[in-house]
């Protein structure tokens, strides 16, 4: 696999298209407003230098000794960075300067243990870990990772996020292409609960026969105090806030993925359709998303305020974002983990060079976060 094929393929879109919202009446979505539609067309121009204005590296101390082989989720709250691996069932917590603070790796059947980390979310006080096997959520203090307790949950969820310690969003969709049985009694794509996991609101009704594409890695991301949601049920994504109605951001494709098609995401990526492949990451003025282009897999695109679309450059790669896993303030965050050879190949190709500290931790098998500052298109 060459260097270009190893790059995470993403797309940047101006979030200003949410500026003019109207009531959405034609899609049977109650309590949802709709932003202006974005018509997706394949670009002729390449990504201009000004989109990523600067790149910096954040070495994660001791990550070469406490190796997470693949980061499935990253959350940044106040001065804490929380990274997690669903496969390894472990969370690691660092300061925003990259100092290792503590690890949560309590897999087991004991009173303070969990059987899996299906997902997690972070508030200014706490870390919450969802375990679908035991139907429980474990809570830990954010400051030190002290176990605070474990409570039963009356549903299964694939992802969760929190507005605060008494206001949560969950999602679960039937995504097994072989078994048309919903794993959850909730007949909505997204629901809201209090701290006792009692449902307080439901959003986005799901038809009984609908099957979500199998293989999606995330459903929620965070944008300041808002939560971003995407499902393959829609050509577009939603933003949820504490008090306002959700806002739908539609994307119009010339060859949209057929909703009656049941397959895995990797099969959809190789088909003759266009589709939004992942939930966007959002900062002020920009979104990063992955779009699958007919038969070409997931590729990167940039759209400015005038809806001009830019493709990825193959000759000027120094600021190409890779492996985006979250946001930190008004920055996108990517990572390179236990892959010094990939780092050297990227630098040889023209990618932003890391600091001596970053190179040292990568050469020892550790992890570095890549912090992307976003300029103006």
Q: How does pLDDT run across 210-261, given as a tens digit for each residue?
A: 888 888 889 999 988 999 999 998 999 999 999 899 999 888 888 888 876 6
Rounded to 5 degrees, φ, ψ at 163 are -80, -40
What is residue 377's predicted lDDT score, i.e. its pLDDT?
A: 46
- How high is the mean pLDDT of the chain? 82
What average pLDDT does the segment 43-52 reach?
Answer: 62
Q: Is the pLDDT of residue 184 over 70?
A: no
End-to-end CA distance of the chain: 31
CB atoms within 10 A of CB 12: 27
Contact call for residues 115 and 107 (beta carbons, < 8 A) = yes
State which residues form the domain around 114. 3-374
Q: How does pLDDT run across 57-73, given as a tens digit for each residue?
A: 999 999 999 889 889 99
Joined together, the tokens standing for residue 344 give 């050297």
Q: Distance between CA atoms of 276 and 238, rounded to whole angstroms?
A: 12
Q: Is the pLDDT of residue 23 over 70?
A: no
Q: How does pLDDT run across 276-327, given as a tens digit for each residue?
A: 888 988 887 677 767 777 666 666 555 555 555 666 666 666 667 788 899 9
What is residue 46's predicted lDDT score, i.e. its pLDDT?
A: 62
Tally of residues, the chain = 377
What band does 161 get if pLDDT is binned at 50, 70 and 90? very high
Joined together, the tokens standing for residue 63 give 């990550």
What is residue 312's predicted lDDT score, i.e. its pLDDT?
A: 60
CB-based burial, 256-275: b 16+ in 10 Å, e otherwise: ebeeeebbebeebbebebbb
The number of folded domains in the chain is 1
CB atoms within 10 A of CB 325: 22
Which residues fall within 8 angstroms of residue 280, CB to CB, at 6 or more apart? 13, 221, 228, 230, 237, 287, 288, 289
What percentage of the chain carries pLDDT values higher than 90? Answer: 50
Q: Tokens 């449902």 map to which residue?
A: 199
DSSP character at residue 263: -
Q: Is the pLDDT of residue 1 over 60?
A: no
What is residue 159's predicted lDDT score, i.e. its pLDDT?
A: 96
For residue 105, give the CATH number of its domain.
2.130.10
Sign of torsion over alpha carbons 188, 279, 132, 200: negative
Contact call for residues 293 and 5 (beta carbons, < 8 A) = no
């Amino acid at each position: 696999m060459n260097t270009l094929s190893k790059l995470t393929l993403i797309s940047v879109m101006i979030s200003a298209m949410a500026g003019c919202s109207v009531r959405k009446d034609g899609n049977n979505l109650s309590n949802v407003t709709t932003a202006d539609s974005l018509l997706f067309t394949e670009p002729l121009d390449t990504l201009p230098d000004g989109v990523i204005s600067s790149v910096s590296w954040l070495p994660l101390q001791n990550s070469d000794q406490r190796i997470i082989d693949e980061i499935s989720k990253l959350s940044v709250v106040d001065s804490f960075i929380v990274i997690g691996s669903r496969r390894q069932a472990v969370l690691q917590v660092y300061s925003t300067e990259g100092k290792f603070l503590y690890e949560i790796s309590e897999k087991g059947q004991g009173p303070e243990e969990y059987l899996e980390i299906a997902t997690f979310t972070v508030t200014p006080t706490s870390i919450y870990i969802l375990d679908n096997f035991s139907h429980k959520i474990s809570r830990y203090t954010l400051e030190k990772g002290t176990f605070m307790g474990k409570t039963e949950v009356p549903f299964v969820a694939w992802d969760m996020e929190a507005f605060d310690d008494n206001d949560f969003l969950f999602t679960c969709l039937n995504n097994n292409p072989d078994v048309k049985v919903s794993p959850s009694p909730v007949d909505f794509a997204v629901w809201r609960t209090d701290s006792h996991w009692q449902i307080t609101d439901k959003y986005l009704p799901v038809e009984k026969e609908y099957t979500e594409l199998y293989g999606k890695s995330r459903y929620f991301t965070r944008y300041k105090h808002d939560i971003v949601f995407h499902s393959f049920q829609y050509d577009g994504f939603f933003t949820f806030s504490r008090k306002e109605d959700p806002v739908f951001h539609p994307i119009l494709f010339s060859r949209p993925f057929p909703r009656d098609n049941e397959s895995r995401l990797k099969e959809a990526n190789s088909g003759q359709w266009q589709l939004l492949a992942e939930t966007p990451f959002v900062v002020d003025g920009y979104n990063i998303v992955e779009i699958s282009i007919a038969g070409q897999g997931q590729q990167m695109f940039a759209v400015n305020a005038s809806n001009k679309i830019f493709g990825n450059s193959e000759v000027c790669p120094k600021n190409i974002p890779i492996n985006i896993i979250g946001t930190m303030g008004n920055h996108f965050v990517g990572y390179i983990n236990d892959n010094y050879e990939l780092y050297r190949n990227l630098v040889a190709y023209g990618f932003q060079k890391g600091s001596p500290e970053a190179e040292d931790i990568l050469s020892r098998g550790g992890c570095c976060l890549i912090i992307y500052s976003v300029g103006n298109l």
